[in-house]
């Protein structure tokens, strides 16, 4: 089976105040060493994977902020992807970009190197909230980035948004949605702000210096984004994702269908066959191990069949159309009700799940309670 490839670029211009991803301050020398190490990692997988697993249906270069790398580095990474892997016809190639780190030349380089989807971290249209989040850009820079991306030939743009920011009201959020929609993106991801432990924003909330968004307001904002985008022709196809017809993110669909992917770069995760493994998050160790000719894997886990079935269910339930029951049966040789009959009965009785058109799906009531539903399928 062809796979999806994820590449983690672990650099950002500055750490956002809510972020707990693995990322380091951008430094040209470190970025140069990273690029050398990453190409070695690709070469090692080229030797170790079979021809089928070297065939790529999607590539996603994320981070961090991939576009804080100079365009020569980005071009070299993409060239490495095509030297060491085989791109299937119609491959989807996404690069994450932050406003303030792109110019026309860099965007044209990406487009010429085969990138056909750009994901821009816009987050909010309010400069006040952008500052609160510690983002390095203004909303005007985000608008400028969209204009430049169109000029460079990108006709598949995702804009990432965050809601439930402390101090944000439903009216602010509606205003933000209107402004973002005027940019006519093909795809929108809208996630509520997560206050991750250890981040400056979470600390300030814990110390009472900033008031978090009320749960009710957050729920109202979630309902608002669904109604607003669906009314304007977007398909709500995953809990937090919306697309114009034909523009669903195929890379992320790999994860939600629980299909194989390989992750390269510090802290990247992979899942191939019945094995899940992840790289060290330390940039130094990542580089040293690759220089020594070793894969920088920090941990491996063999997945039991029960684990794979449970994960396939709760990942599939993230999709609005739900989990395809025939696909589940052909993959595992078992009817889903034989395996999870009790959970399905219980959650259906509570009005959170239903079987509809041969799919198991969350109900409208279950959607905002998705995490509680997923926990029912996690093995003890």
Chain residues binding ligand SF4 by CB under 6 A are 12, 15-16, 19, 21, 23, 63-65, 98
Kindly give the pairing relationship between strand 269-272 and strand 55-63. unpaired
Long-range contacts (CB closer than 8 Å, 24 or more residues apart) made by 338-344: 339/309, 340/309, 340/310, 340/313, 340/377, 343/376, 343/377
Instruction: Return the closest-CA partner of residue 222 out of 170, 276, 144, 259.
Output: 170
Cα dist. 166→15, 130, 139, 169 in Å?
A: 19, 11, 18, 9
- Give whichever of 23 and 312 is closer to ligand SF4, judged by the CB atom: 23
Phi-psi region at 184: left, alpha or beta (left = phi > 0; alpha = psi -120 to 50): left
Q: How far is the CB of 285 from ligand SF4 (least distance, A)?
A: 20
Spell 203-240 as b/e; 16+ CB within 10 A means b: ebbeeeebebbeeebbeebbebbbebbeeeebbbbbbb
3-class SS at 173? helix
- Give whichever of 96 and 235 is closer to ligand SF4, judged by the CB atom: 96
Q: Are residues 240 and 252 in contact, defined by beta-carbon separation less than 8 angstroms?
A: no
- Give whichever of 161 and 344 is closer to ligand SF4, judged by the CB atom: 161
The count of other CB atoms within 10 Å of the CB of residue 136 is 18
- Give whichever of 194 and 363 is closer to ligand SF4, judged by the CB atom: 194
Q: How far is the CB of 14 from ligand SF4 (least distance, A)?
A: 7
Q: How far is the CB of 129 from ligand SF4 (least distance, A)?
A: 14
Cα dist. 180→49, 88, 117, 128, 142 in Å?
A: 42, 33, 18, 16, 10
- Give whichever of 267 and 313 is closer to ligand SF4, judged by the CB atom: 267
Q: How far is the CB of 138 from ligand SF4 (least distance, A)?
A: 14
Distance between CA 99 and CA 292 in Å, rounded?
Answer: 36
Q: How far is the CB of 84 from ligand SF4 (least distance, A)?
A: 25
Q: How far is the CB of 191 from ligand SF4 (least distance, A)?
A: 11
- Give whichever of 98 and 141 is closer to ligand SF4, judged by the CB atom: 98
Q: How far is the CB of 65 from ligand SF4 (least distance, A)?
A: 5
- Give whichever of 121 and 366 is closer to ligand SF4, judged by the CB atom: 121
Q: How far is the CB of 164 from ligand SF4 (least distance, A)?
A: 16
- Give whichever of 34 and 237 is closer to ligand SF4, judged by the CB atom: 34
């Amino acid at each position: 089976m062809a796979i999806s490839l994820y590449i983690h670029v672990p650099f950002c211009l500055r750490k956002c105040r809510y972020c707990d991803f693995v990322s380091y301050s951008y430094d040209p020398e470190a970025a140069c060493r990273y690029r050398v190490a990453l190409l070695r990692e690709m070469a090692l997988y080229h030797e170790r994977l079979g021809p089928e697993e070297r065939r790529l249906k999607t590539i996603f270069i994320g981070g961090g902020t991939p576009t804080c790398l100079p365009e020569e580095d980005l071009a070299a990474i993409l060239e490495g992807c095509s030297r060491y892997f085989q791109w299937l016809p119609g491959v989807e190639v996404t690069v994450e970009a932050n406003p303030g780190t792109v110019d026309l030349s860099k965007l044209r380089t990406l487009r010429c190197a085969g990138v056909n989807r750009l994901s821009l971290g816009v987050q909010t249209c309010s400069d006040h909230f952008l500052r609160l989040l510690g983002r390095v850009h203004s909303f005007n820079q985000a608008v400028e980035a969209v204009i430049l991306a169109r000029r460079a030939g990108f006709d598949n743009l995702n804009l990432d948004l965050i809601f439930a920011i402390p101090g944000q009201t439903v009216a602010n959020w509606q205003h933000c949605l209107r402004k973002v929609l005027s940019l006519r993106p093909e795809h929108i991801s809208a996630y509520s702000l997560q206050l991750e432990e250890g981040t400056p924003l979470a600390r300030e909330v814990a110390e009472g210096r900033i008031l978090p968004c009320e749960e009710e307001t957050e729920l109202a904002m979630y309902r608002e984004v669904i109604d607003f985008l669906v009314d304007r022709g977007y398909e709500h196809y995953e809990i937090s994702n919306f697309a114009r017809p034909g523009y669903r993110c195929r890379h992320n669909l790999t994860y939600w269908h629980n299909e194989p992917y390989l992750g390269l770069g510090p802290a990247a995760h992979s899942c191939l066959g019945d094995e899940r493994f992840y790289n060290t998050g330390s940039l130094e160790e990542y580089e040293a191990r690759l220089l020594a000719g070793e894969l920088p894997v920090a941990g491996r886990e063999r997945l039991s069949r029960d684990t794979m079935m449970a994960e396939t269910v709760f990942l599939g339930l993230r999709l609005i159309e739900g989990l395809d029951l025939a696909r589940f049966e052909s993959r595992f040789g078992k009817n889903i009700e034989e395996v999870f009959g009790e959970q399905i009965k219980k959650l259906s009785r509570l009005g959170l799940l239903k079987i509809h058109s041969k799919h198991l799906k969350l109900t409208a009531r279950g959607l905002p309670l998705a995490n509680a539903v997923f926990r029912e399928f996690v093995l003890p």
